Amino acid sequence: MPAVPAEGRSATALTAAPGGGAGAGRLGWLRPDDPWRAAAAVLLGNWTGASTVPSRTLYPHQWSWDSAFVAIGLRHLSPRRAQRELEMLLGAQWGDGRIPHIVFNPAVPHAAYFPGPDFWRSAASSAAGGRSAGARAGAPRHTQTSGIVQPPVHALAALLVHRADPAASARRGFLARVYPRLRAWHRYLTVDRDLGGAGLAAIVHPWESGMDNSPCWDGPLARIEPAPAASFRRADLDHGDPADRPTDLDYGRYVRLAADYRDADYADAGVRHGFAVEDPCVNALLIASEEAMAEIAAELRATGRPVPAGPAPHRERAARLTEALVARLWDAGAGIFRGRDLRADRPIEEYGVAGLTPLLTAGLPPAVTRALLDTLAGEHFRLGELPLVPSYDLEGRAFDRTRYWRGPAWFNTAWLLERGLRRHGVSGTADALRRAVLDGAAGSGFAEYVDPLTGAGRGARGFSWTAALALDLAADGAGWPGPGQGGGPGPAAAR
């Protein structure tokens, strides 16, 4: 997929104001006292001219699952820009099918983020001595990326973006362009990353879970000898409170794992990975995206586009993955899905929000669904008593209400759970969670995450996926009060 040409290099290229009409494409309608417009302003402010950064300071490049979530919200403002968000990311896909977790912006100084392009060496550069560590895996020759991946929410995002304006999407051939890329991505996960041989995708670095420093990874990480502190410099501490960020010990282990993977030329097979885990959230999102791929294939066939085998293989793969997920990761006694440490060949006995995300999938046995709902409302997460869902067990040994994924509540996981609750008919709880997301997002200045007990914002402010997913939840008309009323362009409200 070639690079998508820019519509313009300024944020004012956005083509749809809430409700459409004469305000479209101008900044005059962005009023900070209106949450809808304030959320839109976050996305405009974080637009680089080609894609959206999660945060201008802490995360100054394009991140993989962030861009998928951003596109889900952007579709209510400009379906065309939402398409471009995904297409820019997919343009950096590797030959083996992986979608890298970071696509680096060459205009950003390399020292602004670590690990940067000089560390990953995906493409040949003078800093890498002219050698590309990603060449064997088919890394792009002229785009610098990381070499690891993030959870596969992209096909679901593509389907939702298409639904925002199906006629325009069809005219542009959006689904026809992204479908082969998404098929290759899913093939990579289900084949190259089936490290346990049980049919589930495995992650080889905690960052690939998207929940970087979750206590769920403490056990597997304890085996890893950290990289010497003097061998790297953490740029994240220039912009984030150290109390919110992973510890230096954790970071040293992350660097060691990433360097080992890089030095093995990002090979998945025939390598003894220091960290290899079957993660329930990664696989739940893969199932949800396979379900979305079936719908994409059906849409393409309906418009006369050639689709190998149609939707059936995607439905069958989703069913097989669901069966493997339940057989391999479900802990009936605990009422939650557990990650599986492949090196130790045992479940990781922690309660993390990742273990609740299979609610997003359609094919769970009813008893599993009921048990997950009980766990969500029970002592470990207390949804209903607390407005949002903590990222880790409130009763757990390592619970920390401010430190990244070790306890704070995140808006992207709330969006996933809201969708899952609604899918399983738990509309009252879903409505309450939606309201908590809208209140918490706007009230915190669209914070990266919040203290689950007080709702106080933590991490970066003006965070893109927080704004985007709040827009999505507000877009059905039952959202924020004021001129926006949660009412973006009508067709985009399809969820």
Catalytic residues: 212, 448
The amino acid sitting at 281 is C
CB atoms within 10 A of CB 233: 10
How large is the angle between the packed helices 464-474 and 411-423, nearest 10 degrees? Answer: 30
Phi, psi at 225, each rounded to 5°: -75, 120
* Burial (0-12, 13-18, 19+ Cβ within 10 Å), 376: buried
Rounded distance between C-alpha atoms, residue 465 and residue 60, angstroms: 14
For residues 297 and 174, what is the distance between their CA atoms, to the nearest angstrom? 12
Cα distances (Å, whole numbers) of residue 447 to 193, 300, 355, 437, 470: 33, 38, 24, 11, 11
How far is 210 from 212, CA to CA, in rounded Å?
6
Task: Give the 3-state DSSP-derived string for 24-44, with helices as H, strands as E and coil as C.
Answer: CCCHHHCCCCCHHHHHHHHHH
Q: Are 316 and 323 in contact (CB under 8 A)?
A: no
CA angle 337, 338, 340 (to 5 degrees): 135
Backbone angles phi, psi at 73, to 5 degrees: -80, -40
Please state whether the peptide bond connecting residue 60 to the residue before it is cis, i.e. omega within 30 degrees of 0.
no
DSSP 370-400: HHHHHHHHSTTT-BTTBSS-BSB-TTSTT--
Q: Cα(114)–Cα(241) distance, rounded to whole angstroms?
A: 16
d(Cα 321, Cα 310) in Å, to the nearest integer? 18
Cβ pair 329, 339 in contact under 8 A: yes
Provide the 3-class DSSP secondary structure of residue 453. coil
**Contact (Cβ atoms closer than 8 angstroms) between residue 260 and residue 128:** no
Amino acid at position 480, single letter? W
Rg (C-alpha) for the chain, rounded Å, is 21
Name the residue among 28, 79, 80, 85 with its Cα closest to residue 62. Answer: 85
Residues in CB range of 363: below 8 A, 6 or more apart: 287, 318, 319, 322
Is residue 103 within 8 Å of 90, Cβ to Cβ?
Answer: no
Q: What is the DSSP string of 389-435?
A: -BSB-TTSTT--SSSTTSS-EEHHHHHHHHHHHHHTT-HHHHHHHHH
